[in-house]
Amino acid sequence: MKTLLFTALFGFAGLTYAADVVPVNPHGSSPHGSSISAADLGDINVSKAPGQNAYTVAEIIGEASSLKDKPVVVRGKVVKFSPAIMDKNWIHLRDGSGNMASKNNDLVVTTKDETKVGSIVTIKGVVRTNKDFGHGYNYDVLIEDAKVSNQ
């Protein structure tokens, strides 16, 4: 289903999904940015950011309703970076918390800042819930208007 939707939106098939959230073409990058393949993800184990409003990826997803519209800080590894889509850069962030089965291991972030796939970053932004950007881009939880600090 995801491959068909992606094919309809971007005009090509043959996509695979790393851990079911990071679209990757057979040549190792997505049509809208770069990403890490499932084989290259390996074990991700990034320590939680220190200080006030600091959460793990799984905590933000799990506590989304109580964190809605509040500022948070999260540290993790950039597993996908998609620049300049709808005037925003899009990041998929993982820190090793959560798991694929529970769908709480990958956090989407929007920002004007730039970063690179594989970088460990600290994100400061506002939690948004039930965000619909249209064209099938719906998010139960994401962080918007983030500031990115590369480690």
Domain architecture of the chain: domains with CATH: 2-31 (no CATH), 41-150 (2.40.50.140)
- Burial class of residue 26 (count of CB atoms within 10 Å of its CB; 0-12, 13-18, 19+): exposed
Q: How many CA atoms lie within 13 A of 56 on its CB side?
A: 15
Q: Is the pLDDT of residue 24 over 60?
A: no
37-41, 82-86, 106-110, 114-118, range with the lowest pLDDT: 37-41
Which residues have CB under 8 Å from 129's CB, separation 6+? 64, 65, 68, 140, 141
Question: Which one, of 46, 45, 42, lies nearest residue 74 by Cα?
Answer: 46
| Predicted pLDDT of residue 9 | 41
Q: Is the pLDDT of residue 111 over 50?
A: yes
| Predicted pLDDT of residue 150 | 87
How many C-beta atoms lie closer than 10 Å to residue 46's C-beta?
20
What is the pLDDT of the chain when averaged over all its residues?
81
| Predicted pLDDT of residue 52 | 94
DSSP of 15-82, one letter per residue?
-EEETTTEEE-TTSEETTEEE--HHHH-----PPPPSTTB--HHHHHHTHHHHTT-EEEEEEEEEEEE
How many C-beta atoms lie closer than 10 Å to residue 151's C-beta?
9
